């Protein structure tokens, strides 16, 4: 009977499964019981999602090797700050190597193509830094074939050099070392290569297989050698792609252009991208109206490894998304509708209000811990689970157990879904490595709110915002409650600041 359901919910939530879905109980009864028990699970919605057929679009299985053709390598430039990444990209872009129309000005679209006199081509991504690289990788977009690691010959291997090596290794992407600033009198390229040894990067002269090219990005010295080394490595990698069938691409940049509306830059990975193609990316779709190369010239089609700007999006998708061609506009709408529905479900289930989240976590944990904890009250169970390290943020601050482990509670806000995800991905990486634990107590899209500040204050944490603002009232509240409010427009700076704050929390003996 009804009371039995309520009883079951309050005492042994796990029994709910046995009550649903085909027992004598009506859905409405369960809902009512759920409401009465104070647990806001959306069973009815859950039920719906189970019945919906999957209408998503997906990447195709790998092509028959016989159909594959060679494609140019896609290269990312990485390295320590000030070692010359931007200068190198600029000189590559300006050098005659770049396939620019005579007198044309290359536009920044997130990547550009270099063509050697011998005809070989290389695509350089010009969003330097780890953020772009890791966020794409975290979304499963393997957009890079080769990493050019820039190390300044007067400075040597620094911590971001080591991080870059780590990123490349994790992604199993081979490295070419560009020993930069060789024009400087104090340059010591030999030392650089020696230092790299300690990080498992063994250059050819030490018997390894990593090519190291001495360059001056500033003067443009030896850039051709660097390009040739890249082509040589690409040949060994036997990079191939399937030029037929529906397009698959990865989105590397997206923005709203005053004249063109939503524009994105994509790297084609499979198929031929043409005008008129219908594409989906995340929860957005496009009928391709124009394709432009980095010279701003309209192109008719783009083959694998080509980089093009795509105009024709109905809404702006985020960088890092996979772009897939579908057969019709009708199909595109269907995919977007399905994905939005999925996201909605996800939101209902995963990103409910903090309280619901706590309850849901508790329920999951409780199912596992049910036996030994059966006699405890809700609150006692929660405390027990927290102490056993089974749940992380489900305690009110007053209930938090003191721990020796230093931690930094964080509230993360970003301008769009993509930037929040990127930040969380980056933080995930730090969390695993560092002694000081990052507790992301809340995250979301939008300007910093009073609620964010209050939440941070309760936990003694900080608020980090990327590309978002805070009203005067919110700023004042933060000052009053002693909450550090960090608003940044460059991910790299945000992460630096965070790292700084983290290291200040580490125990003094370190």
**Among 83, 193, 362, 382, interactor with ligand GDP by CB under 6 A:** 83
Binding mask 280-309 for ligand GDP (x = CB under 6 A): ------------------------------
**Among 35, 81, 298, 374, interactor with ligand GDP by CB under 6 A:** 81
Q: Can residue 85 be called a binding residue for ligand GDP (CB under 6 A)? A: yes
Determine the Cα–Cα distance for residues 204 and 179; give it in Å rounded to an integer.
Answer: 14
Q: Can residue 217 be called a binding residue for ligand GDP (CB under 6 A)? A: yes
User: For ligand GDP, how many residues bind (rule: CB under 6 A)?
Assistant: 15
Within the chain, what is the greatest distance between any pair of CA atoms? Answer: 87
User: Segment near ligand GDP (CB under 6 A), from 80-88, 137-145, 251-259, 352-360?
Assistant: 80-88
Q: Can residue 8 be called a binding residue for ligand GDP (CB under 6 A)? A: no
Q: Which is nearer to ligand GDP, 212 or 453 (CB)?
A: 212
At its nearest, how many Å lie between ligand GDP and the CB of residue 246?
Answer: 37
**Among 82, 204, 337, 351, interactor with ligand GDP by CB under 6 A:** 82
Determine the Cα–Cα distance for residues 217 and 86; give it in Å rounded to an integer.
Answer: 9
Q: How many Cα neighbours within 13 Å face the side chain of 79?
A: 28
Q: Which is nearer to ligand GDP, 147 or 332 (CB)?
A: 147
Closest CA to 99 of 129, 80, 122: 122
Read off φ and ψ for residue 413, nearest 5 degrees.
-125, 145
Q: Which of residues 361-420 bind ligand GDP (CB under 6 A)?
A: none
Closest CA to 175 of 209, 140, 225: 209
Q: Which is nearer to ligand GDP, 222 or 265 (CB)?
A: 222
Q: Can residue 93 be called a binding residue for ligand GDP (CB under 6 A)? A: no
Read off φ and ψ for residue 328, nearest 5 degrees.
-155, 165
Identify whether the C-beta of residue 316 lies closer than 8 Å to the C-beta of residue 255.
Answer: yes
Determine the Cα–Cα distance for residues 97 and 121; give it in Å rounded to an integer.
Answer: 10
E strand segments, 282-365: 284-292, 301-302, 307-313, 322-326
User: Segment near ligand GDP (CB under 6 A), from 100-108, 214-222, 255-263, 312-320?
Assistant: 214-222
At its nearest, how many Å lie between ligand GDP and the CB of residue 79?
Answer: 6
At its nearest, how many Å lie between ligand GDP and the CB of residue 154?
Answer: 8
At its nearest, how many Å lie between ligand GDP and the CB of residue 218?
Answer: 3
Q: What is the b/e burial string over 180-215, where b = at least 16 CB atoms within 10 angstroms of the residue's CB?
A: bbbeeeebbbebbbebbeeeebebeeeeeebbbbbb
Identify whether the C-beta of residue 193 lies closer than 8 Å to the C-beta of residue 205.
Answer: yes
Q: Which is nearer to ligand GDP, 83 or 167 (CB)?
A: 83
Binding mask 143-182 for ligand GDP (x = CB under 6 A): -------------------------------------xx-
**Among 12, 86, 360, 497, interactor with ligand GDP by CB under 6 A:** 86
E strand segments, 374-425: 407-414
At its nearest, how many Å lie between ligand GDP and the CB of residue 308?
Answer: 25
Q: Can residue 214 be called a binding residue for ligand GDP (CB under 6 A)? A: no
At its nearest, how many Å lie between ligand GDP and the CB of residue 153?
Answer: 8
Q: Can residue 183 be called a binding residue for ligand GDP (CB under 6 A)? A: yes
Q: How long is the chain?
A: 510
At its nearest, how many Å lie between ligand GDP and the CB of residue 227?
Answer: 16
Determine the Cα–Cα distance for residues 151 and 158; give it in Å rounded to an integer.
Answer: 8
Pairing status of strand 74-79 against strand 273-274: unpaired
User: Segment near ligand GDP (CB under 6 A), from 2-10, 76-84, 307-315, 487-495?
Assistant: 76-84
Determine the Cα–Cα distance for residues 247 and 34; give it in Å rounded to an integer.
Answer: 46
Number of Cβ within 10 Å of residue 76's Cβ equals 29
Q: Which is nearer to ligand GDP, 133 or 459 (CB)?
A: 133
**Among 8, 218, 349, 354, interactor with ligand GDP by CB under 6 A:** 218
At its nearest, how many Å lie between ligand GDP and the CB of residue 130?
Answer: 12
CA triple 80-86-92, angle to 5 deg: 125
Q: Can residue 87 be called a binding residue for ligand GDP (CB under 6 A)? A: yes
The DSSP element (H or E) to which 175 belongs, if any, is strand 175-180
Number of Cβ within 10 Å of residue 276's Cβ equals 8
Determine the Cα–Cα distance for residues 150 and 135; give it in Å rounded to an integer.
Answer: 20
Q: Which is nearer to ligand GDP, 184 or 275 (CB)?
A: 184
Give the interface with ligand GDP as residue ranges (CB under 6 A).
79, 81-87, 180-181, 183-184, 216-218
């Amino acid at each position: 009977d009804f009371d039995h359901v309520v009883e079951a919910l309050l005492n042994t939530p796990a029994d709910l499964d046995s009550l649903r879905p085909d027992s004598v109980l009506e859905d409405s009864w369960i809902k009512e019981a759920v409401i009465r028990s104070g647990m806001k699970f959306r069973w009815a919605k859950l039920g719906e999602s189970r019945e919906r057929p999957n209408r998503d679009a997906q990447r195709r299985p790998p092509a028959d090797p016989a159909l594959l053709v060679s494609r140019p390598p896609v290269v990312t430039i990485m390295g320590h700050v000030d070692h010359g990444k931007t200068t190198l990209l600029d000189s590559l872009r300006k050098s005659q190597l770049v396939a620019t129309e005579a007198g044309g000005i290359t536009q920044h679209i997130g990547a550009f193509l270099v063509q050697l006199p011998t005809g070989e081509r290389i695509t350089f991504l010009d969003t330097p830094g780890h953020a772009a690289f890791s966020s794409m990788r975290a979304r499963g977009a393997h957009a890079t074939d080769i990493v050019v690691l820039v190390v300044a010959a007067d400075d040597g291997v620094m911590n971001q050099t080591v991080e870059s090596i780590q990123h490349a290794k994790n992604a199993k992407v081979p490295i070419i070392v560009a020993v930069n600033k060789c024009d400087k009198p104090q340059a010591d390229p030999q030392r650089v290569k020696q230092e790299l040894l300690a990080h498992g990067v063994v250059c050819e002269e030490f018997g390894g297989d990593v090519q190291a090219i001495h360059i001056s990005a500033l003067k443009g010295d030896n850039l051709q050698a660097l390009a040739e080394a890249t082509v040589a490595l690409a040949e060994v990698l036997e990079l191939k792609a399937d030029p037929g069938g529906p397009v698959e691409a990865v989105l590397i940049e997206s923005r709203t252009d005053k004249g063109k509306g939503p524009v994105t830059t994509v790297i084609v990975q499979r198929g031929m991208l043409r005008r008129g193609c219908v594409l989906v990316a995340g929860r957005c779709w496009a009928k391709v109206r124009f394709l432009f190369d980095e010279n701003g010239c309209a192109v008719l089609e783009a083959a694998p490894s080509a980089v093009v700007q795509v105009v024709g999006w109905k809404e702006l998708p985020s960088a890092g998304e996979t772009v897939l061609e579908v057969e019709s506009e009708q199909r595109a709408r269907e995919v977007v509708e399905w994905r939005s529905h999925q996201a909605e479900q996800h939101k209902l289930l995963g990103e409910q209000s903090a309280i619901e989240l706590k309850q849901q976590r508790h329920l999951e944990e409780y199912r596992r811990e049910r036996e030994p904890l059966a006699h405890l009250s809700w609150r006692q169970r929660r405390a027990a689970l927290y102490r056993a390290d089974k749940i992380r943020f489900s305690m009110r601050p007053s209930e938090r157990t003191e721990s020796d482990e230093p931690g930094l509670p964080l509230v993360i806000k970003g301008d769009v879904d993509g930037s929040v995800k990127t930040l969380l991905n980056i933080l995930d990486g730090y969390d695993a490595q560092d002694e000081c634990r990052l507790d992301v107590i809340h995250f979301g899209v939008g300007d910093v709110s009073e609620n964010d500040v209050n939440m941070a204050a309760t936990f003694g944490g900080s608020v980090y915002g990327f590309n978002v603002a805070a009203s005067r009232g919110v700023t004042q509240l933060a000052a009053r409650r002693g909450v550090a409010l960090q608003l940044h427009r460059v991910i790299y700076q945000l992460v630096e600041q965070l790292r700084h704050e983290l290291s200040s929390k580490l125990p003094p003996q370190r």
